[in-house]
Amino acid sequence: MSILDEIFAHKRDQVARQKMERPVESVRTAAERADEPRDFVGALRQNVAQPALIAEIKRASPSRGPLVEDFDPLQLAHIYQRNGAAAISVLTDARYFQGHLSFLTAVRRAVQLPVLRKDFVFDQYQVYEARAAGADAILLIVAMLEDYALRGLYRLTRSLGMEALVEVHDEEELARALQIEPRLVGINNRNLHTFEVDLETTARLRPLIPPEAAVVAESGIHTPADVSRLAAIGADAMLVGESLVVAQDTGAQVRRLAIPSATRVKICGFTNLPDAHAALDAGADMLGFNFYPQSKRYIEPARCAAIVKGLRDHGAPVTTVGVFVNASRDEVASIMTTCGLDLAQIHGDEPPEFVAAFGGQAFKGLRPESPDGARSDATRFARAEAPALLVDARRPGEYGGTGHTGDWDLARELAAQYPILLAGGLTPDNVTAAVAQVHPWGVDVASGVESSPGKKDAGKMAVFVKAARERPR
């Protein structure tokens, strides 16, 4: 008996026991009362130039056993969301992967991304169970399902508002899958018999799939080169698990795969919801809100909370950042909670331990006084579990938003060692050159896309984002 046969046999026994403990009528009622599902396919098609990342929360595997000692699904979910994942997959099988359905429920409540239940689904009971737990999508493995079962499970999944990732391994399975006209097809690059992995499986099967179906490549994705290959093949998304979970720096690995070539754009200093929506329409990845009272772009926490709520209510996939200058830890934490912010940008004279206290949800804004000082500060703050470093221009007595250009040569040196956000005097006219010279992880702009302090210009924002991601001629 193969490991897959063993898993399937165990699952049949497990579901039979679950039905006795909790009748299907009860689970169906809970599923029908669950919160409305999030748009899983829509999340994967936000960026047509880059395969979207479905980042997996995986505690163990049958072949390798436990993957990490200190497994924290919520921490992983937050890291995935902050660093560019489009969706999250949660393994819920207990016996072979040490997962649990409660992990999915907790993750779904903690993040704004859509969530996939990754398990061996063969019974309608499991579909209702997934929706009741908050799943936005489930996995259907063609290799383990007869045609009638595949069709019935798919119809039920869609009737509950969820999406189904219909997984295939070869041409025969794909032909069977296409009979149900799926909106989402997963191509597993792992051979079920030899367990060898080959990305060319996706290359071989992709042309056979209609363009209206989104295609997800699974297994064997570890490097930006792999992602570039998938982009060339025409994959819409990729599902990655072990290489993220076991990475020494999970956030950095997520960034390497989610944004290997595109420059992330942060626009800072928002004071109203229409401007925030215009920034998202322009393609901005991060929106910043300034809580430094002396800033021309200062915003009251209550007003910021209303803007963030307006964005979340419309399902806007964006990272929100609060900018703080010499505020207390309690004040920063309180405002982040009140406003529902994802990250804190610490932009004053705070030490590394101040940033580290936020456990990866804060990063430092550096204003280099000298090259040696910048190198020293970058080393110190990079150890504070920060997702990135912001490198700004220095003006005595001022804490950012000056409109002055910084030292791009120094920034380039730092960008070769750390993920940095380049700030300081960037405009639609110079950002392409800045990116070409510095090669930053992202860029940060405020005054360069404004009509007046705190009032954004939609046209300038659109041009800036486009220019930040263009290659110079």
Tens of pLDDT, residue by residue over 320-367, are 999 999 999 999 999 999 999 988 999 888 888 898 888 778 888 887
Residue 54 CB partners (closer than 8 Å, separation 6+)? 44, 85, 86, 87, 88, 89, 116, 216, 237, 238, 239, 240
For the question of residue 83 being annotated catalytic, the response is no
Please say if the pLDDT value at position 381 is more than 90.
no
The encoded tokens of residue 148 equal 């009638």
For the question of residue 212 being annotated catalytic, the response is no
Please say if the pLDDT value at position 45 is more than 60.
yes
Q: pLDDT value at position 395?
A: 54
**Tokens 């207390």 label which residue?**
328
Given the residues 218, 350, 385, 450, the one annotated as active site: 218
**173-213 pLDDT, tens per residue?**
999 999 999 999 999 998 776 778 888 899 899 999 998 99
Q: pLDDT value at position 186?
A: 97
Please say if the pLDDT value at position 227 is more than 90.
no
For the question of residue 296 being annotated catalytic, the response is no
For the question of residue 36 being annotated catalytic, the response is no
Given the residues 83, 89, 188, 290, the one annotated as active site: 188
Please say if the pLDDT value at position 384 is more than 70.
no
**93-126 pLDDT, tens per residue?**
998 899 999 999 999 999 999 999 999 999 999 9
For the question of residue 56 being annotated catalytic, the response is yes
**High-pLDDT (> 70) share of the chain, %:** 91
Taking residues 155-183, report their average pLDDT.
Answer: 97
Given the residues 83, 89, 189, 219, the one annotated as active site: 219
**High-pLDDT (> 90) share of the chain, %:** 58
Q: How many CB atoms lie within 10 A of CB 18?
A: 16
Given the residues 167, 173, 350, 385, the one annotated as active site: 167
Sign of CA dihedral 196, 199, 201, 202: positive
Sign of CA dihedral 274, 275, 276, 277: positive
CB-count exposure of residue 47 (10 Å: 0-12, 13-18, 19+) = middle
Q: Which domains does the chain have, with CATH numbers?
A: 3-258 (3.20.20.70), 264-468 (3.20.20.70)
Rounded CA separation 333/315 (Å): 24
Taking residues 302-320, report their average pLDDT.
Answer: 85
Q: pLDDT value at position 63?
A: 75
Given the residues 11, 56, 173, 456, the one annotated as active site: 56
Overall pTM surpassing 0.75 (yes/no): no
Q: pLDDT value at position 367?
A: 76
Q: pLDDT value at position 61?
A: 82
Given the residues 11, 89, 118, 350, the one annotated as active site: 118
For the question of residue 370 being annotated catalytic, the response is no
Rounded CA separation 461/274 (Å): 13
Between residues 219 and 5, the one the model is more confident about:
219
Flag the least confident range among 71-85, 278-292, 410-424.
410-424
The encoded tokens of residue 359 equal 């456990």
For the question of residue 181 being annotated catalytic, the response is no
Q: pLDDT value at position 473?
A: 43
